[in-house]
Amino acid sequence: MGVESPYVFVSEQAPPHELLRWVREQIPSFYESDRLIDNCPNLVWSEQELKLVVPRNSVGPYVKVDFSSPQMNHRRRQGLGKKQLFAKALGLSAQPKTALDLTAGFATDAFTMLLYGLHVTALERHPIVYKLLEDGVRRAHLDLDIGLLIKNQLQIEQCEALEYLHKAEPLSYDLIFYDPMYPTKKKTALSKKNMQVLQAFIIPNETEEMEEVLNQALKMARQRVVVKRPPSAEPLLRKPSLSFPGKSVRYDIYLSGK
């Protein structure tokens, strides 16, 4: 997947050579600048970290992948109960060990799976989002609290979910997690900042593509496939084996062999 939208690359300090080379290879329409450009996505290297900035946009000042953010630290320190909705969806009673996250995004769900003890392979198809994720992982490796967790249990790859599934061996993972992006309805409340960025610059999945991904995922999961959906959305395929509805999200579960 290429980068079609025009981007601005802003460096407040000398960027690593490999980052600058990647920008020039991946973003043919990029414009290099020493300042932010209004109403345009700016990929910014500053304070030894990579950020996405969209001036004069409702998203906010910037977004980055930060596994040491206050929100992530709160989640890690408070602990995660097995009665929580996400834990029920993962089927922790079956003691899954490995998970494949087909749509990593900013890896919030992948990080939560790490906290539950799973080893996670997280895929991201969009080059910009993947680069932000890669930079977040790099910085997390330096964190004394979570560095070993990220190093030992998280693997990230840039690729299309369907392409990866076609190449993977059958029954490769205990569970597969799928959170497809869907078109947002008008007049709905604004989503979280990171999700607004994804929705603004990434083309949502087509229904046919989502169904094909799910069908292929069902061949790869030893225990279950977990599909994250809006509460009122129709299931992607047949009636799921289980469903865990919440106020803002619903998890549809397709058990392997059923």
Residue in 65, 74, 195 with CA at minimum distance from that of residue 137 = 65
What's 70-255's CATH class?
Answer: alpha beta
Per-residue pLDDT 10s for the chain (258 aa) are 445 555 677 777 778 888 888 887 877 667 777 777 777 778 888 888 999 887 655 445 678 999 998 888 877 776 677 788 999 999 999 999 999 999 999 999 999 999 999 999 999 998 889 999 999 999 999 999 899 999 999 999 999 999 999 999 889 999 999 998 765 554 443 345 566 655 555 555 666 789 999 999 999 999 999 999 999 999 988 899 999 999 999 999 999 977
Query: In the block, which residue shows the tokens 């993962």?
Result: 90
The confidence score (pLDDT) of residue 120 equals 98
The confidence score (pLDDT) of residue 2 equals 47
Q: Within 13 Å of residue 1, how many CA atoms lie on the same side as its CB?
A: 19
φ, ψ of residue 8 in degrees (nearest 5): -110, 130
The domain segmentation of the chain, as residue ranges, is: 8-53, 70-255
Write the DSSP string, 140-184: HHT-TTTHHHHHHHEEEEES-HHHHHHHSPTT-EEEEEE----PP
pTM more than 0.85: yes
Please give the C-alpha separations between residue 220 and each of 150, 160, 178, 240, in angstroms, as whole numbers. Answer: 24, 15, 13, 17
